[in-house]
Amino acid sequence: MAAEALYLKVKRDIAARITEGAWPPGTYIPSEPDLQQRYRVSRTTVRKAVEDLVNEGALAIVHGMGTRVVAQRLSLTPAALMSFTQMMISQGIVPGRDQVELTTDHADAEVAAALGIAPDAEVVRFSRVRLADGAPVSMNVSYLPLELFTGYDIQRLLDGQSLYAQLEDAFNLVVQTTEDTFGIARADAEAAVALEVRPGDPLLIIARCGFDKAERPIEYSRIAIRPDRYRHTVTLRRK
């Protein structure tokens, strides 16, 4: 029990130093020998403390380099629908976006089926890279039926950070519920550059359909997310 308390004490202190900013995200914590000397404990104790923090996602071992502090993950535990922007703000993270492109396009079969429109029907295509504290987190491509914007200037979708907020404020279109389908894919060359990962690295893929109050599909998004920057928790309860 004493040995357990010792490694937990080391673990808590390392975690506290990370939280306080002594070892910021992206930097490396001291080496094992340095930590042994700092805490006056054995190598086994240091390894156990670091291993726990690696398993919890606070640290990452980079072979040949050391142990790096991992940037805070966005964490979503679904209870109420929140936009990406709202989720970041609620966790004290500064939202942003890059590589923004707004065009019109023709729906492919997947998009048409999700939105309940005719194949090749015109849609608004809104693509962007979402940032958290200036670092890329996800590539988002959203599709919306062009007919929803008849008489409106679709360029107003570019105002503000949140697509859902702008849909409501500028076009009176409210995304009331969403349905997400999760998958895994490997980063292609475009995603690797946009998300600052290596080609072939795994990405979390979300296909999202957003519905209005009448349960009419008004938005379909393809989202590719860096799994090291995002955690999605689902709680299931027995009836």
Q: Residue 13, Cβ neighbours under 10 Å: how many?
A: 14
Output the six-digit token pair for 155.
């360029």
Label residue 29 exposed, middle or buried (CB < 10 Å: 0-12, 13-18, 19+): buried
CATH of domain 2-69: 1.10.10.10
3-state class (DSSP) for residue 131:
strand
Its CATH class, for the domain covering 74-232, is alpha beta
Instruction: Tell me the helix, strand and coil percentages in the chain, rounded to 5.
Output: 35, 35, 35
Two structure tokens written together for 132: 């958290």
Give the domain ranges of the chain.
2-69, 74-232
Please give the chain's pLDDT, 239 residues, in tens.
344 578 899 999 999 998 888 888 778 999 999 999 999 999 999 999 998 888 777 888 877 788 988 766 554 455 555 566 666 676 677 778 889 999 999 999 999 999 999 988 999 999 999 888 888 889 999 999 999 998 889 999 888 778 888 899 888 898 888 888 889 999 999 999 999 899 999 999 999 999 988 888 999 999 999 888 776 666 555 65
Q: Which residues contact 2 (CB under 8 A, 6 or more apart)?
A: none
Q: Which of 223, 178, 185 is nearest to 201 (CA)?
A: 185
